[in-house]
Structure 1
Amino acid sequence: MESSQASISSISGCVIIPTYNNERTLERVLRGVLEYVPAEHVIVVNDGSTDTTPDILDRFKDAITILVNEPNRGKGYSLRKAFKHALEKGYEHALTIDSDGQHYPSDIPLLLEQSVLNPGAVIMGSRNMEQEGVPQKSSFGNKFSNFWFKVETWITLPDTQTGFRIYPLKPMKKIWLFTNKFELEIEVIVKLAWRFVPFIAVPIRVKYDPDERVSHFRPARDFTRISILNTFLVLTALIWYYPRKLFSIRTWNVIKHEAIKPEESNVKKALSIGFGVFMGIVPIWGFQLLIGIPLAVLFRMNKVLFIAAANISIPPMIPFIIYGSFLSGQLFLTGETNALQLTDLSLEAIQSNAYQYVVGACVFATVAFVAVFLLSFGLLKLFRKEPNHIDT
């Protein structure tokens, strides 16, 4: 029964125990879990066991939930089945623990405490894989997994292969899981990371007893599966996750807030837009933002609106800006405007009339600034209510 202040009920959670032919350790693990979690919140998935596992579970059948796979389908399939069941029962979190005896149920309160302190996070029980008795292949496999997890998510974790975890179930509704074996425990945390779910690592104890522990991990076969999965995840990260992370929801929220700034006056917004157009036209190609952004910061303008407006100098607009600059320069210097053809605006033409172009671009930029400021201010005045508290 629960004795921890942070209980499974406090996170609206359940415990999931996938098992396959672990008759030596299953009952001990179950009884240990039941010291900390009420039986009605425990889900065991019997993954087509062919040993005495069904007999062991039969002793608990009136207290815990038992799901059965026939035939053996794999740990990943069992976890997916249990996650679906937990969601259907309305649970918000699921604590998973292996049935091979390597985890100590007495560490459950450590994970629960961190889950309470970090709602919505994945809590990862972190084993010391360098301690005496840890199989070499397990230590290497963990380092291998940690490396690829970092490549795929930009997140560093000390133990990505631990089966002792707490998952938030709400984001699980939004991800598609397709693996069925051990690799699911990699797939699920990578895809949760891609949903910007935070991770918390909690040091836990680990026990590797060769006399009682049965491992169903097959290095050649399972490493191949994991390698194929990592190849898929890395490619997906390159195409989708990395760009999405660079322009994450948080980033867009910052940009949106900066652009809207409800406390900012209509005059300041209009000035920011007008100044952006001005800097986009003045003949300092390649340096508009380098010079304009510090000035926008100095004069406390709206940086997002300034940058958006400064992008008037995108390639499709450049010929029209140059054309307008030439006409403005001709009018300012001679008082005349001889019609030019856009097709005549070659690099040689700009170089031979550099003075006219530079003067004209400055005049054109100034006129554009005034026109855009007046238009922006008029539209803002028409469609936007002036804030009660104006940011100065």
Structure 2
Amino acid sequence: MSPTTDETCFRPVAVTPTYNNAGTLIDVLSRIENQGVPIVVVNDGSTDATAERLAAWTSEPRAVAVEVVTHPQNRGKSAALQTGFARARELGYTHALSIDTDGQLDPEEMPDLLEVARREPRALVVGYRDASTHNGPARSMLGRRMSNLGIRLACGAKLEDSQCGMRVYPLALVEGVSCRGQHFVFETEIITRAAWAGCPIEQVPVTSRYFPPNVRVSHFRPVMDTMLCLRLHARLLARSLMPWPHRQLWQDASAADDGERPAWWRRALRWLDPRRLWHELRRDSVSRWSFATGLSLGTLIANLPIYGFQTLLSLYLAKRLHLHPLPVVTGSHLSMPPMGPVLVVAAIFVGHLLLEGRWPTGIEIEGRASELVSLPGRVLLAWLVGSVLVGVACMAVTFVGCLALLRLLPMEERPAKGGGDGGEAGVG
């Protein structure tokens, strides 16, 4: 009998990369099996008892098809996922549900994500853990928020949890976009590139548990993986600042049934609308971090010696980084008196200190009064160098202070979310 249309368009498989999780692996695999989903296990060069336990488990009759792929040496989570995705495509599956084997995520919640993926087979379905009940390491929560912010700036997708390991990937998406991120950063990069490609992003709540430090098996390398994440976000942000468009895999047809796209001036008014900003600030933490980023970015622009172009630069960066323009433009007005002249003098002093290795003396300042008016030579160079350093300092202080003040603003009560809370990819 030929397969049905639904079976042809949606054939999911669970892809489970594992590395030295012998203590939890078989329990996770058995619970996945209970969901009736085929499994591709990628043993990423484990050095514990993983291989032996996998061999014993697969030697018995199983209720679902199970494939085991082994890397002779550990190559990292990104490579393990890519190997699993490639094998899934070879076997004729259309979607891969990824889930870690450390026991923190519940396989019993797989049907929730798969149902959303079945309804919207083009979508990247991302699980998100409730931040209000987060009991993991503080660095994990900070890393999650910084990653959420980086993704929002790069592509406009507003995610609540960009680092959850339970997701449903359309294999056509994985094949159609190029991700260069290694180890853990692949899961961040694929979200950004999916949004650039026009892929819908859906979010589904999942539960998570964190084991005590003496039981938890973590392969995160604090220094190395943090540097990889920072490099990734820098690369994606640099690309987002470029004016040429991204290659689309799927065009956004969300407004296809409503006729033509709204006129440019209507889109501009909505972009500038302060009511949208206020609503977002009351609704979620990602928007608060975006607001703080926009205001602090504006203070950096205020320090740059580009008077007459600061507002234009603010609007351009706000558009490219999916920020509301009002906080960016507001921050850039720090260059107005009385603060503007103070910032100029501070920049010249700091630049002189960096270039000359000492503070300028009073005699030097009086002697160069005419030079300061015409902005030549060494004074201009000191201003240029100092403006960046003073701007970065103002940016950091503004960001931290703004987040502290926003904590005083109460969040709106939001209804409990059901099966697919659509991520706002490509907006901002």
Q: TM-score range by the shorter chain?
A: 0.5 to 0.7
**Quick one: distance in 1 between partners of 2:76 and 2:204?**
26
Cα deviation for residue 244 of structure 1 reads 7.3
- Return closer, same or farther for 1:100/1:249 CA change in 2, 3 Å cut-off: closer
Give the aligned partner of residue 43 of structure 2.
46
**Quick one: distance in 1 between partners of 2:26 and 2:243?**
44
Instruction: Structure 1 unaligned segments of length 5 or more: list them.
Output: 1-6, 259-392
| 2:13 is the alignment partner of 1:14 | yes
- Checking the alignment, whether the CA contact within 8 Å between 2:197 and 2:247 is kept in structure 1 is no
Cα deviation for residue 157 of structure 1 reads 0.6
Matched letter for residue 48 of structure 1: G
Cα deviation per residue 1:314-341 (whole Å; 9 max; x = unaligned)? xxxxxxxxxxxxxxxxxxxxxxxxxxxx
Give the aligned partner of residue 194 of structure 2.
192
Give the aligned partner of residue 126 of structure 2.
124
2:219 to 216, 221, 229: 216
1:228 to 220, 231, 235: 231
Matched letter for residue 226 of structure 1: C
- Return closer, same or farther for 1:28/1:229 CA change in 2, 3 Å cut-off: same
CA RMSD of aligned residues (A): 2.8
1:61 to 43, 58, 62: 58
Cα deviation for residue 173 of structure 1 reads 1.9
Give the aligned partner of residue 31 of structure 2.
32
- Checking the alignment, whether the CA contact within 8 Å between 2:157 and 2:192 is kept in structure 1 is no
| 2:139 is the alignment partner of 1:137 | yes
Cα deviation for residue 61 of structure 1 reads 2.9
Alignment of 1:1-392 (within 5 A): 11-38=10-37, 41-62=38-59, 64-210=66-212, 211-239=214-242
Q: TM-score, normalised by structure 1?
A: 0.58
Cα deviation for residue 240 of structure 1 reads 5.5
Cα deviation per residue 1:127-179 (whole Å; 9 max; x = unaligned)? 01331522211111110110001011111010000010001111222211222
Q: TM-score, normalised by structure 2?
A: 0.54
- Checking the alignment, whether the CA contact within 8 Å between 2:125 and 2:168 is kept in structure 1 is yes
Cα deviation per residue 1:208-251 (whole Å; 9 max; x = unaligned)? 11253201011111010011011111111221666779xx7769
Please identify the structure whose Cα radius of gyration is greater. 1
**Quick one: distance in 2 between partners of 1:8 and 1:30?**
23
Matched letter for residue 216 of structure 2: R
- Checking the alignment, whether the CA contact within 8 Å between 1:25 and 1:213 is kept in structure 2 is no
- Checking the alignment, whether the CA contact within 8 Å between 1:8 and 1:37 is kept in structure 2 is no
- Checking the alignment, whether the CA contact within 8 Å between 1:45 and 1:69 is kept in structure 2 is yes
Cα deviation for residue 99 of structure 1 reads 0.6
**Quick one: distance in 2 between partners of 1:127 and 1:249?**
27
- Return closer, same or farther for 1:100/1:155 CA change in 2, 3 Å cut-off: same
**Quick one: distance in 2 between partners of 1:45 and 1:243?**
32
Matched letter for residue 137 of structure 2: P
Matched letter for residue 149 of structure 1: I
Identity value in percent: 34
Cα deviation for residue 97 of structure 1 reads 0.3
Cα deviation per residue 1:22-57 (whole Å; 9 max; x = unaligned)? 11211111111111034xx20011010001111111
**Quick one: distance in 2 between partners of 1:209 and 1:85?**
31
Provide the secondary structure at the position in 1 that maps to 2:203: strand
Give the aligned partner of residue 331 of structure 1.
none
Aligned length: 247
Instruction: Structure 2 unaligned segments of length 5 or more: list them.
Output: 1-5, 60-64, 262-428
Query: Higher relative contact order by CA 8 Å / sep ≥ 6: 1 or 2?
Result: 2
**Quick one: distance in 2 between partners of 1:35 and 1:145?**
33
Provide the secondary structure at the position in 1 that maps to 2:150: helix
- Checking the alignment, whether the CA contact within 8 Å between 2:9 and 2:94 is kept in structure 1 is no
